[in-house]
Amino acid sequence: MANGPKIDFPEFYQAKDTNTHKGICYSIYGTLKITVGTEHWGKASVSCKSQVAQAFVKQQTEIGGAWTMKSKTKPKSRLNDAKMSSRVVNTVSESDGSDMRTGDFQDGVGRSKILIDARMKTWHKGNLHAHSVISDGKLSPAQVAEMYRNRGYSFLAFSEHQRYTFHSDLQRPGFIILPAIERNKSFGNPRRYFHINGILGPKHIRKLATMEPYEHMQRVPMPDLENYRETAQAIVDELRQSGHIVMFNHPNWSFSNFEDLLSIDGYFAVEIFNCTAEVETGDGLSTIYWDAALRAGRKVWGIAADDNHNRNRYGEAPPEWDSFGGWVMVNAEELSHDAITTALLEGNFYSSTGPDIYHLSFDGNRVYVECSPVKRIYFRTYFRHGYSRCRADGKSIDSADYELRGGEKYIRVECVDEKGGIAWSNPIFLQ
């Protein structure tokens, strides 16, 4: 196909091999792709008229396939389609999943949802975990904000230990600060730590608040409780009651066990990558905790963040050594506190330490992802249904798909590049 005619393939056309139900020819935004079974064997960036697409199907039929073709209903607008994404996840998560595996690709067409679409100019890069001299960071808030702004970030949350801050004076056109705090305590011997971020939530969450919001530079005391679970739950509850959304920070670095995470309710996300933990002690990755929560039926998102302290205690690296290592790309129509925190809460983002995810869609039967060049793409699911994709010749890949086998419960995508950078989609929940 790579040498095929330059053709204008219409959007949202799909065809399938009716013999095997496995061969799929489809087009997403002018890129014609063909998969047979689970092997990605043809790809061409083309645009074609429907008759040429039909000719392609005819040609496939002549060489042994039995292809039929069906045009999809074009969504009203891509914006609307992307706005659907969080609802897709919620809708899907609320169903019992019994109708999600039909075995007929075309039946799934009507439910096709685009969860990530990088062509929309509504993606904002942010760091949700940062420290300054106000707690144990090395740089001033102004220095930290400037560093991230210069690096192209759109938003930043200062999460000082036990102290709530909102540096509204450091906001600029195209750069906002999210009011936040990190609350932490440690317990037992050997020690395990409990660190969580409270980020001021969107209006609809703040409306439900039963406690007064915190003020800039307010020190927030710990509840006078001794055991892990009680203290942790009290802090989560207090943050939520004062209008915050809560992230469970660096469980790996905190020596948490799975039970710690599962014994606490009310956090919307797990910090799955922490850059400081990674560069200081190699404990940055916490995806195993995320999967533990997901396997237990929790519907929580995964967040990569820096937790930058810029102190470089261990070497000669530059002060930004634990900055710019982990971030979120948030899909929100505008760069505002309300839009960003709503999108976070709804899972309308992906996390990364390197690669970009350009496209993610789910049609009820099949998950399809496109990303920047990577060495391997993983589909992670409940139990052992997941798998990974790579090329036999070791060259990079930039797309992959996963067809439901039944019983997945959730599917999430990890794209891993040559340097070890990872991009994580949020899970698609099936039940």
Q: Which residues bind Zn ion (CB under 5 A)?
A: 182, 195, 249, 307
Shortest spacing between CB 404 and Zn ion, in angstroms: 37
Location of structure tokens 């963040």? 305
Q: Which residues contact 386 (CB under 8 A, 6 or more apart)?
A: 378, 379, 380, 402, 411
Give kind and range of the element (H or E) at residue 261.
Answer: helix 258-262
Shortest spacing between CB 1 and Zn ion, in angstroms: 49
Shortest spacing between CB 131 and Zn ion, in angstroms: 6
Shortest spacing between CB 351 and Zn ion, in angstroms: 16
Shortest spacing between CB 134 and Zn ion, in angstroms: 12
Shortest spacing between CB 240 and Zn ion, in angstroms: 19
Shortest spacing between CB 284 and Zn ion, in angstroms: 12
Nearer to Zn ion among residue 186 and residue 388 (C-beta): 186
Nearer to Zn ion among residue 250 and residue 412 (C-beta): 250
Nearer to Zn ion among residue 195 and residue 389 (C-beta): 195
Tokens of 414: 């990890």
Nearer to Zn ion among residue 290 and residue 379 (C-beta): 290
136 burial type by CB count under 10 A (0-12 exposed, 13-18 middle, 19+ buried): exposed
Nearer to Zn ion among residue 137 and residue 201 (C-beta): 137
Shortest spacing between CB 256 and Zn ion, in angstroms: 11
222 touches 195 (CB < 8 A) = no
Pairing of strands 410-416, 422-424: antiparallel
Shortest spacing between CB 271 and Zn ion, in angstroms: 9
CA distance 184 to 180: 13
Pairing of strands 376-381, 387-389: antiparallel
Output the residue with the shortest Cβ distance to Zn ion.
Answer: 195
Tokens of 57: 């199907």
CA distance 381 to 295: 9
Q: Which residues contact 69 (CB under 8 A, 6 or more apart)?
A: 13, 14, 15, 25, 53, 54, 57
Nearer to Zn ion among residue 257 and residue 431 (C-beta): 257
User: What is the phi/psi pair of residue 78, to 5°?
Assistant: -65, -30
C-alpha of 390 from chain center:
21
Nearer to Zn ion among residue 195 and residue 412 (C-beta): 195
Beta-bridged to residue 196, according to DSSP, are: 183, 248
DSSP, residue by residue, 280-302: HHS--B-HHHHHHHHHTT---EE
Tell me the CA distances in angstroms from 57 to 30, 65, 74, 108, 305, one per residue in order. 16, 9, 20, 20, 46
Nearer to Zn ion among residue 307 and residue 417 (C-beta): 307
Shortest spacing between CB 153 and Zn ion, in angstroms: 17
Shortest spacing between CB 345 and Zn ion, in angstroms: 21
Nearer to Zn ion among residue 221 and residue 394 (C-beta): 221
Nearer to Zn ion among residue 86 and residue 276 (C-beta): 276
197 touches 340 (CB < 8 A) = no
423 touches 371 (CB < 8 A) = yes
Q: From edge to edge, which strands make up the β-sheet containing 39-45?
A: 39-45, 31-36, 24-28, 13-17, 67-71
**Sign of the dihedral defined by the CA atoms of residues 253, 259, 260, 265, in that order:** positive
Nearer to Zn ion among residue 92 and residue 196 (C-beta): 196
